[in-house]
C-alpha cells in the first residue's frame, strides 16, 4: 500500500515534470546553436571560395579595353493590352449597376502598387 502523503507525491511529480521540460529545452537550444554554427561554417566556406575565384579571375583577366561611349537607346516594349483593357472594362461595367455606358478613354500604368501593398501591411490596424 502507498504510504506517501498525496501532497508530497504531487510535489515530486511536479519537480520531475519541470526537470524533464528544462532538459528538453536545453537539448533543443543546443541543437539550434549547433545548426547555427554549421550554417555559419558553410557560409564562410562559400564566401572564401567566391573570394578565391574572384582573385583568380582578376589575376587572369587581361587589361580592359578602352571604353567607347555609345549613345543610350531606350527600348520600350510595345505590348498590345487591348484584350486586357476590354476585360477590365467589362468587369467594371458588370460591377456598376447605374446603367450608364462605360467608356475607357485612357489607360496608363501606375507604379504605386508596391508602395500601396507595403502601406496596407504596415498600417493594417
pLDDT of amino acid 77? 62
How much is the pTM? 0.40
- What pLDDT is attached to residue 1? 47
Task: Region of 99 please: left (phi>0), alpha (psi -120 to 50) or beta.
Answer: left
Helical residues (DSSP H) of the chain, grouped into ranges: 6-60, 82-95, 113-122
Distance CA 92, CA 99 (A): 12
The beta-carbon contacts of 51-55 under 8 Å, at least 24 apart in sequence, are: none
Rounded to an integer, what distance in angstroms lies between the CA atom of residue 114 and that of residue 95?
A: 25
Note the pLDDT of residue 20.
97
Grid cell listed for 4 = 506517501
Q: Each residue's pLDDT tens digit in the chain (125 positions)?
A: 467 788 999 999 999 999 999 999 999 999 999 999 999 999 999 999 988 888 887 776 665 666 666 666 566 566 677 888 888 888 888 877 777 777 777 777 767 777 777 777 787 66
Amino acid at each position: 500500500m502507498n504510504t506517501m502523503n498525496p501532497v508530497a507525491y504531487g510535489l515530486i511529480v511536479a519537480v520531475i515534470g519541470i526537470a524533464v521540460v528544462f532538459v528538453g529545452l536545453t537539448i533543443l537550444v543546443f541543437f539550434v546553436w549547433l545548426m547555427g554554427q554549421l550554417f555559419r561554417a558553410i557560409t564562410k566556406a562559400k564566401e572564401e571560395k567566391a573570394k578565391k575565384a574572384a582573385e583568380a579571375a582578376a589575376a587572369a583577366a587581361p587589361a580592359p579595353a578602352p571604353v567607347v561611349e555609345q549613345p543610350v537607346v531606350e527600348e520600350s516594349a510595345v505590348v498590345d493590352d487591348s484584350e486586357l483593357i476590354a476585360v477590365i472594362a467589362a468587369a467594371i461595367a458588370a460591377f456598376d449597376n447605374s446603367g450608364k455606358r462605360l467608356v475607357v478613354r485612357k489607360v496608363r500604368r501606375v507604379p504605386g502598387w508596391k508602395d500601396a501593398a507595403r502601406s496596407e501591411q504596415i498600417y493594417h490596424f
